[in-house]
Structure 1
């Protein structure tokens, strides 16, 4: 049984017992200051753990603590937070977390094993967020051990799941005892009691939420916390649209602004505060996977169930031209799901352990999986003649021909509806250019732009031909990959398997990843999975940012010489930032 101060998915944690602080923080960062962030949208709930309501997404990470804390300087390593020790059984079916004797809620009461057990049980119920329920379904037993221990037993060996159980938010049982239904009621009347460094101290539904650093926070001197949570006040302001958001930042009402568009970063950030030096422009590199962003094709429907049609639709997308129009050509294309990271597929034919993993599934692999698959590259001219010629040939091979200017198949004219959500002018511009290209193939394309509620409802029901979607992927993929690409999502509503991928090779690569005994085997399995997904041709991908562009108050700073591998990610701003003394 492994017993220690931390736990890594593979091997041992990089930091030894008794470490003084995380390597990517400034342990001597001064405390103080008021950090104001902006968001476009609104909110009507302060409970991020349930399905109902709209919640400021930062609350889950700023206002709640878990047994273990994640180090974003390592792909997947956890160190003690509410728990001071963790023990994993040799067969990876049990984990025991021992609570820190000083762990306290904001009201001063101790965090107990009963609180931990109750938190997991209530988050595992219907009505709680699905990501909590899915993992708790695999827990066969949870029990108190001794005075401060909690032991989880799961139904099959799964080290990653045992780690995930240590990352669930811990709430106070006494707050909802006798009225647990109140926990699931969306609204702003009840704020769950937590043990976190910040507590919600003021809010106005739909307008702002303000959190204040607890001066009596129990864990201020923990090695995991040293040098973090430096600002005194964190305030989240909400705006009706992106223009109002940006103007508020330019006027000095906000402390920070993230930009995702290269052309805007180059063009729109030369306002007076930047020239005068009161606003600093920072570029923060990272090694996170690109994930996948773009137009996903629904293979549950014809003709998208034919890979040649999907490849034709990818060939018709003139990325270089679209990138030039939208970004001035500055942003690189997403080339695979795990690109930009150590987990991404390697160019050319599959080799070594990757080839070994894929070989038994050759009959289920599309062309390019083993040999190597690359997205088309155009000359950047609007015509994209070569791409459209290739697309036409592929459509013909799939049994589709142009008759009187209309692409026609056995069931008649090919008509496509692209489902979009209201509010993104950039996405609309991308799709408008794409629709013109599809017309040249004889494809009649309608664009359905709907409000957020209808958009979510239709995506959950897979009621679309093509739709805009984003998968954010991490450096530590695990069980969630089955929810993203597994067979249950082909028919079960509400999964993230938007494309309806139903390939046994995908499941086999995920199982190889989850069962890997070494880091090398784990990386090989993810790279093999990346090949199967990419050559599946499920998505027309766009671009990614290998750096994060952050404009911010010049007094705000961070340790630029010791960035974590995740770069600007959850737990970076404002967690690691500080206000320099006047």
Structure 2
């Protein structure tokens, strides 16, 4: 059948239905086209870096600012953070796909240029996709393995044909960073390095102080500055990121005026610690940014590659011993809700009680291999007000006994007399969602409770480079775990929970789970033809993950707390995803 009868070029693409913005739209709804250009913004990151290549596994890269549609590298399409999953043309002026989504075709804009003035060509696109898919970070490999062919079909047109039924693939093909072939061709792309990449995005790397700071300068000749998707975006002349050894140093730099924005993760500190001079004078203001995205998962993950964590009863016992209520009261004044499932705070979260209708139908073929509670219903223990939750400890003790562990001479041991021993690995620089001090405080409270069970784990703190190296290779027993999840979960879920990640380094499957049921739910998501079928598949996956008892969850915040200089402003319309990549600094500006 002729291709023209199957599809036609469009300005955008959505996972279901049509994108919200019509052809010819003037700006993204969460950007201010009248925002003034100019000035600088100074931001902070924990830890350090030794690479400007976030697209490979090696090294500790400047990933927040070069990843996907970052400041330097662009993609064919731009994701709107005001819709669950819609893309609009960026490097590509049009996208075309068949009704069954077995192929997708992009047409490059003729004006697209790299920062050195050279055109972005189909050759650059094809080289980028193949190189990322074979030598890049493992997150690129899964989608690339589903590409049967990649061919140039016109002077500015490239077509991907797929070898798998996967309705998300046309969108994923629009979200790979396009790099300049001539810069990297002939090198081992998998190596890390500090060579500034040549990209087509609004900014270029200006100055680098390895491990300490990196500054980006807005390109006055940026080819795409007049595109509708860029109206009101990329407003600062310079963006500087300084790296700090720990969160305390970052906060002190913010208070001293050396950093412009601070994300406060603790509601208790938000209420009590912003009484320094700049805040009381009004030079620093506090903004709360709401969002409608899933909670994601955050807490202590148990690595089932270690045999002591393979039994679900042991993992449930570890959850029972974690007194969430006391910890939440101690750290947050009890102000934040607990993460009850991976997709909590969204319509994709599984519903309480027994699985019903389409969700149950998806799960029942795997019922014999699913942990108790997956179909029947599962909920986390509440904990208590006192440091020692005796009810939780009694339940944990019973579960340990059922799994073959008993307290012998004051130590939890198995029948062979081997102690229940493990290491908790922590990043001394903290994480994007918790400071090092907060994670250590949580772990200290938890380990005190574990001692009543005859368990004394070893707690190890490493610098960020060592921590990344060990977690990339799953060299830990338990560690702090954070996974942000979107309203459009898809192929990345295989990177998070797929069985290949049990042995392949660099995946997000830190728990080491190998679940045919989970992979079947992901396949059902990818092949869903309507929103109802998609939601049922995600809710079924949510049950499998939560009842799998791999993570001991903590709290989440339905708002982002951003303290910032009063001159920094953001649009009145906040996107659906709230404070998410693509929001700050992309649509912020500096006012006089």
TM-score band w.r.t. shorter chain:
over 0.9
Match of 1:119 in 2: 128
Shift of 1:183: 4.8
Match of 1:221 in 2: 226
Q: Does 1:166 align with 2:174?
A: yes
After TM superposition, the structure 1 stretch with the greater mean CA deviation from structure 2, 547-556 or 164-173, is 164-173
Secondary structure at the counterpart of residue 62 of structure 1: coil
Aligned-partner Cα distance in 2 for 1:422–1:160: 34
Shift of 1:464: 3.4
1:53-75 Cα shifts (integer Å, max 9, x gaps): 33222123111111100000011
Give TM-score scaled by structure 2 length. 0.93
Match of 1:546 in 2: 558
CA distance 1:184–1:378, change in 2 (3 Å): closer
User: Does the 8 Å CA contact 1:316/1:438 hold for their aligned counterparts?
Assistant: yes
User: Does the 8 Å CA contact 1:364/1:504 hold for their aligned counterparts?
Assistant: no
Match of 2:582 in 1: 571
Shift of 1:243: 2.3
Match of 1:20 in 2: 26
Match of 2:523 in 1: 511
User: Does the 8 Å CA contact 1:34/1:231 hold for their aligned counterparts?
Assistant: yes
Shift of 1:250: 1.0
Q: 52, 62, 78: which is aligned to 1:69?
A: 78
Shift of 1:182: 6.5
CA distance 1:377–1:138, change in 2 (3 Å): same
State how 1:326-365 maps to structure 2 within 5 Å.
326-365=331-370
Shift of 1:301: 3.4
Q: 222, 226, 244: which is aligned to 2:249?
A: 244
Match of 1:136 in 2: 144
Shift of 1:305: 1.9
User: Does the 8 Å CA contact 2:383/2:389 hold for their aligned counterparts?
Assistant: yes
CA distance 1:541–1:356, change in 2 (3 Å): same
State how 1:293-304 maps to structure 2 within 5 Å.
293-304=298-309
Q: 531, 534, 543: which is aligned to 2:543?
A: 531
Aligned-partner Cα distance in 1 for 2:270–2:350: 30
Shift of 1:154: 2.0
Q: 4, 14, 19: which is aligned to 1:8?
A: 14
Secondary structure at the counterpart of residue 415 of structure 1: coil
Aligned-partner Cα distance in 2 for 1:316–1:302: 19
Match of 2:187 in 1: 181
Q: Does 1:447 align with 2:459?
A: yes
Aligned-partner Cα distance in 2 for 1:388–1:2: 61
Aligned-partner Cα distance in 2 for 1:133–1:92: 20
Secondary structure at the counterpart of residue 257 of structure 1: strand
CA distance 1:409–1:183, change in 2 (3 Å): closer
Aligned-partner Cα distance in 2 for 1:491–1:183: 23
Aligned-partner Cα distance in 2 for 1:579–1:491: 47
Q: Does 1:267 align with 2:272?
A: yes
Aligned-partner Cα distance in 2 for 1:227–1:319: 43
CA distance 1:22–1:569, change in 2 (3 Å): same
User: Does the 8 Å CA contact 2:289/2:578 hold for their aligned counterparts?
Assistant: yes
Give TM-score scaled by structure 1 length. 0.94
CA distance 1:2–1:22, change in 2 (3 Å): farther
Aligned-partner Cα distance in 1 for 2:402–2:359: 30
1:22-58 Cα shifts (integer Å, max 9, x gaps): 1111122121221111122222322322333332221
Q: Does 1:56 align with 2:62?
A: yes
Match of 1:522 in 2: 534
Shift of 1:135: 2.4
CA distance 1:492–1:176, change in 2 (3 Å): closer
Aligned-partner Cα distance in 2 for 1:252–1:270: 14
CA distance 1:571–1:441, change in 2 (3 Å): same
Secondary structure at the counterpart of residue 229 of structure 2: coil
User: Does the 8 Å CA contact 1:311/1:391 hold for their aligned counterparts?
Assistant: yes
State how 1:172-571 maps to structure 2 within 5 Å.
172-177=180-185, 180-181=186-187, 183-188=189-194, 190-423=195-428, 424-560=436-572, 562-571=573-582
User: Does the 8 Å CA contact 2:261/2:565 hold for their aligned counterparts?
Assistant: yes
Count how many residue pairs are aligned between Structure 1 and Structure 2: 576
User: Does the 8 Å CA contact 1:416/1:466 hold for their aligned counterparts?
Assistant: no
User: Does the 8 Å CA contact 2:497/2:509 hold for their aligned counterparts?
Assistant: yes
User: Does the 8 Å CA contact 1:417/1:448 hold for their aligned counterparts?
Assistant: no
Secondary structure at the counterpart of residue 372 of structure 2: coil
1:236-272 Cα shifts (integer Å, max 9, x gaps): 1222332222111111122111111222222221211
Aligned-partner Cα distance in 2 for 1:446–1:204: 35
User: Does the 8 Å CA contact 1:172/1:193 hold for their aligned counterparts?
Assistant: yes
Aligned-partner Cα distance in 2 for 1:527–1:69: 27
Where in structure 2 are there 5+ consecutive unaligned residues? 1-5, 429-435
CA distance 1:251–1:396, change in 2 (3 Å): same
User: Does the 8 Å CA contact 2:57/2:506 hold for their aligned counterparts?
Assistant: no
User: Does the 8 Å CA contact 2:138/2:506 hold for their aligned counterparts?
Assistant: no
Shift of 1:150: 0.7
Aligned-partner Cα distance in 1 for 2:553–2:502: 21
User: Does the 8 Å CA contact 2:78/2:90 hold for their aligned counterparts?
Assistant: yes
Shift of 1:153: 1.6
Match of 2:157 in 1: 149
Shift of 1:332: 1.7
CA distance 1:398–1:183, change in 2 (3 Å): closer
After TM superposition, the structure 1 stretch with the greater mean CA deviation from structure 2, 278-287 or 290-299, is 290-299
Aligned-partner Cα distance in 1 for 2:58–2:403: 44
User: Does the 8 Å CA contact 1:419/1:455 hold for their aligned counterparts?
Assistant: no
Shift of 1:119: 1.7
Secondary structure at the counterpart of residue 169 of structure 1: coil
Q: Does 1:102 align with 2:111?
A: yes
CA distance 1:48–1:298, change in 2 (3 Å): closer
Aligned-partner Cα distance in 2 for 1:471–1:441: 29
CA distance 1:296–1:206, change in 2 (3 Å): closer
